[in-house]
Amino acid sequence: MIFNKAAILGVGLLGASFSLAAKKHGLCRHVTGFGRNRENLELALGRGIIDAYAQDPASACGEADIILLASPAGSFVELVKRASSGFKRGAIVTDVGSVKGALVYEIENLMPAGVRFIGGHPIAGSDRSGIDFSSADLFSDALCIMTPTERSEPAALEVITEMWRSFGSRVMTMGPAEHDRIYAAVSHLPHLIAYAMVNTVSDIDRAYFSFCGQGFKDMTRIAASSPDIWTDISLMNSKNLLEMIAIFRDNLGRIEQCLKQSDPGLLKQELLKASSQRETLGQD
């Protein structure tokens, strides 16, 4: 039991799973939820995911020792502004946002005296969202990135690291900027590409969707992800994304040239580079 009370601001897939994991691993005695959708909070309460909910974020945080920001990352700053008057001295605030960068510093600057913030990103989201898919084991064996800054308190980082480890996560620590560069490449760009792929088929002929096989479904699964969340993430990480879209365009352009020139040797070389790399990631 590291904490007495927890507050979860945003009771969706990640917030609800966090609460369930906290209960399963004895992290705290009591969890209060806050969210925009009262019906969802009632449901979470009824299912025992949370123990109580509050009408506003400040009162949800009232006695909390740990406060989790688990709404879409684009809402964090406004949420913290509304909630911070309720933060207890000594509390630790953390988050599950997929984008860090400037956001971490902005949130840090909003902390009242005696309240610590540690940025975090559990790699456990998916195209599914909402409490229906929540699970106490969502973070088990998942990577969780901590993104402390120069101002982060080492003791608070240690507590949050231990918390994620107790959920079974593999914790890594890196700077917010490095995090955003990595996740632009392996998550944010792939999302944008998958959205563009689906829109491409829509533009060609919507009737073609009925002919797709498992490959198309796998390849575009993340295109079902929440447009709200991914609009936020993309804009907050746009500098990295724009740089990487250019690199992607070069790669697609090389393949295109091979098609234009009917060059099997060069084309095979491009595909082989990708397939040999992809094979190292396994088939799951």
From residue 122, give the alpha-carbon distance in Å to each of 42, 74, 101, 218: 26, 17, 16, 22
Burial class (CB within 10 angstroms; exposed 0-12, middle 13-18, buried 19+) of 120? buried
d(CA 27, CA 171): 17
Q: How far is the CB of 132 from a second copy (least distance, A)?
A: 12
CB neighbour list of residue 184: distance below 8 Å, 6 or more residues apart: 237, 240, 241, 244
Closer by beta carbon to a second copy, 58 or else 182: 182
In the complex, the smallest distance separating the C-beta of residue 242 from a second copy, rounded to whole angstroms, is 6
Which of residues 107 and 124 has its CB atom nearest to a second copy in the complex? 124
Question: How far lies 194's CA from each of 201, 241, 264, 273, 274, in Å?
Answer: 11, 14, 26, 21, 17
Tell me how far, at minimum, the Cβ of 97 lies from a second copy, in Å. Answer: 14
Nearest residue (CB) to a second copy, 66 versus 144? 144
CB 14 to a second copy: min, Å: 13
Q: How far is it, in rounded angstroms, from Cα 28 to Cα 79?
A: 23
Q: Considering the complex, state which of residue 102 and residue 245 has its C-beta at the smaller distance from a second copy.
A: 245
Shortest Å distance, C-beta 53 to a second copy: 28
Task: Report the alpha-carbon angle 50-221-75, nearest 5.
Answer: 45
Nearer to a second copy, 45 or 198 (CB): 198
